[in-house]
Chain A
Amino acid sequence: MLKIDNLHVRVAGKEILKGLALQVNAGEVHAIMGPNGAGKSTLGNVLAGRDGYELTQGSVSYNGTDLLELAPEQRAAAGVFLAFQYPVEIPGVNNTYFLKAALNAQRKYRGEAELDSMQFLKAVREKLRVLHISDDLMNRAVNAGFSGGEKKRNEIFQMALLQPQLAILDETDSGLDIDALKMVADGVNAMRDPKRAFIVITHYQRLLDYIVPDFVHVMVDGRIVESGDKSLALKLEEHGYAWIAERKLVGAA
């Protein structure tokens, strides 16, 4: 589904990703862990199409097409979803209106029939229930005045509604208490599907107790330095990121 090859990306003249490689197949859950500044969020933003990232080398292929050629909205319509680390507050723009516009724009792009208000609200209600989100959140402005936990749950709710093929969760666990974390994990687990893949970017092992990954990658200084199964996350938790750095030095010697 996704093949990232030798990806080099600069931000404001500074190289952040330095030859990152990653392959994600349908049905898989990949966790990407790493210390601050490793480039984890940059990877998420580059995949979703945010401006200000300069690709200097490498490629990203998504279902056989060059993902980086597409505008953010085209990527969304093609099934890419980024749950933001810091969801943006947009006062004055109604949540329901925004999501209906988003969903219908995606459907239109894919040549599917647009949903009318009734169909849309039905879809919304179902998803809200699963994520324990109250209806009134839908009548408010996008993320405006939401608590940290509400914002993160809103991201997962949007994901549930938009049904992406490739979902990237950028530190969705940060700032969540244990109940909210479980709700988020339930939301994600309910969507696990042989046709869908997840990239879960996180700092801590804790989230991976609830969203159990098929693969764990450790990212340091702009590239993936170690990959393994879920036990790698536990080792990291035990030894810290310094352990990885040391092992790399030993390996290099």
Chain B
Amino acid sequence: MRGLPSASWLALPEMDAVLDKEAWRYSERAWNALHAQEFTAANTSALLPVSLVEQFDWPETRARRIVLVNGHPHSEDDLVAVAKFRLTDGRLADGECLHLVFVNAPGPNAARWGHDLALTLEHGSAEIIEQHIGINGADVLGQVTSHMRVSTGAHLRVTALSDLPDSVSLYHREKVSIGASGAYSSTLALFGGRLQRFDIDVDMAGEQANYVSRGVFAPRGRQHIDVHLDARHSARDTRSDVLWRGVADQRGRGILHGAITVAAGADGADARLQTKNLLLSPHAEIDAQPVLEIYADEVKASHGATVGQLDERALFYLRSRGVPLAAARSLLISGFCREAFDGVADAESRARIEALLAERLPQAGETA
């Protein structure tokens, strides 16, 4: 373990979050059902099947990739990289692009692991691609705690791609602080899993700090995805722009809680939050909960949340041009989600998200 920062997979985090009943209102039962199992510490030396490696082995990120299996560096190279980048107390260099792969590998029994991330971007721009994947089997619960600090004028982009098998759960806690004129752009695409819970806590701490959050989640089967976003405008002339899409099929369950607080003194803040959600089955459920609290003056704030079904008029329009029903439905669903990623500048991230959308969004005919 030489050179390895305090590996929290040894000391598992407490599962105390659920004590906050209000914050877990829609997911307490799912969490308790998961937690009712006897969890052991996850095996950290699992072998990875080729099909899994293919999911993250991208030529363009190979040199800057760190693979963590059940929270633990996978190979000697990964171990060295963890030490080099000091994931738990490191500084991101200008122009850095880190690809972090969190692999969930089941053992004979239910198992859990945890990992901390704490990184600071002092200046310039950097990118983190955080990928969560796994192998189906006994339950695995991964817990990631991430602290990001974006200093004055710096720009950090994080793309989180979570594509989990049904037996894997993820509890992801993220705390971000953005300094003056700094920017944090976050793009999340969340698919699959037994339970995915994202606590996102962003503080626009410095003047003119800018926060952009784009995301899509698409639970189906009995999957449960809960995003709990808390954005706080603490300084003057800060901007937040939160735009999410949700699609639930079969018995899928989705929650987007988006709270924007404009603190006293954060005058001139501009806060936008929009979430649109689509239910594809009578048994699917999405709860969209926008909350806006404003304690400052001259604030521009807007929020909107909708939950609806596929637009029959649009469906007919596509069909009247010759697009078959199944394809027309797929086109509308992916188009609906793609809206959230309009203006995401980075073409590579876009392409990866689009590929995930194409693969993971419900195809027509499955909802019957």
Contact = CB atoms under 8 A, between A and B. Distances in A.
B327 A90 contact: no
Contact of A90 (B312, B317, B319, B325): B317
Contacts of A92: 334-339, 342
A90 B338 contact: no
Contacts of A99: 321
A160 interface: no
B334 A90 contact: no
B313 interface: yes
Given A91-B335, A98-B331, A50 B316 contact: yes
B57 interface: no
Given A88-B311, A101-B323, A102-B321, A72 B335 contact: no
B317 A141 contact: no
A73 B318 CA distance: 8
Given A72-B316, A87-B317, A93-B332, A98 B338 contact: no
Given A90-B332, A92-B334, A158 B313 contact: no
B320 A76 contact: yes
Contacts of A73: 319-320, 322-325, 328
Interface string B336-348: 1111001000000
Interface residues of B, number: 25
B183 to A, nearest CB: 25
Interface string B257-299: 0000000000000000000000000000000000000000000
A40 B317 CA distance: 18
Contacts of B324: 73, 105
A72 B332 contact: no
Contacts of B335: 90-94, 141
Given A92-B339, A93-B335, A105 B316 contact: no
B311 A76 contact: no
Nearest to A107: B322
B314 interface: yes
A207 interface: no
Most buried by B among A76, A77, A82: A76
Interface in A111-148: 141-142
B321 A162 contact: yes
A48 interface: yes
The size class of the interface chain A forms with chain B is: 20 to 34
B304 to A, nearest CB: 14
Contacts of B331: 93, 97-98, 101
A72 B319 contact: yes
Nearest to A104: B322
Nearest to A105: B322
Contacts of B319: 49, 71-73, 76
Contact of A101 (B311, B327, B338, B342): B327
Contact of B322 (A51, A93, A103): A103
B312 A48 contact: no
A202 interface: no
A215 interface: no
B323 A48 contact: no
Contacts of B332: 90, 93
A162 B318 CA distance: 13
Nearest to B340: A92
A158 B318 CA distance: 12
A42 interface: no
A27 to B, nearest CB: 23
B20 to A, nearest CB: 35
Contacts of A204: none
Contacts of B312: 51
Contact of B320 (A82, A91, A93, A109): A82
Chain A CB count within 10 A is highest, among B314, B318, B337, B339, for B318
Given A93-B332, A98-B331, A76 B339 contact: no
A248 to B, nearest CB: 34
B322 A88 contact: no
A58 to B, nearest CB: 22
Contacts of A103: 322
Contact of B318 (A49, A98, A106): A98
A84 interface: yes
A191 to B, nearest CB: 16
Given A73-B319, A102-B321, 4 more contacts: A49-B319, A90-B335, A93-B331, A105-B324
27 contacts: A49-B320, A50-B316, A71-B319, A71-B325, A72-B316, A73-B320, A73-B328, A76-B319, A76-B320, A76-B322, A81-B320, A84-B320, A88-B313, A88-B317, A90-B335, A91-B339, A92-B334, A92-B337, A92-B342, A93-B331, A93-B335, A98-B323, A102-B318, A103-B322, A105-B322, A105-B323, A109-B322
Interface of A: 48-51, 71-73, 75-77, 81-82, 84, 87-88, 90-94, 97-99, 101-103, 105-106, 109, 141-142, 158, 162
The 8 closest A-B pairs by CB, nearest first: A92-B335, A93-B335, A76-B322, A106-B322, A102-B321, A72-B319, A92-B339, A88-B317
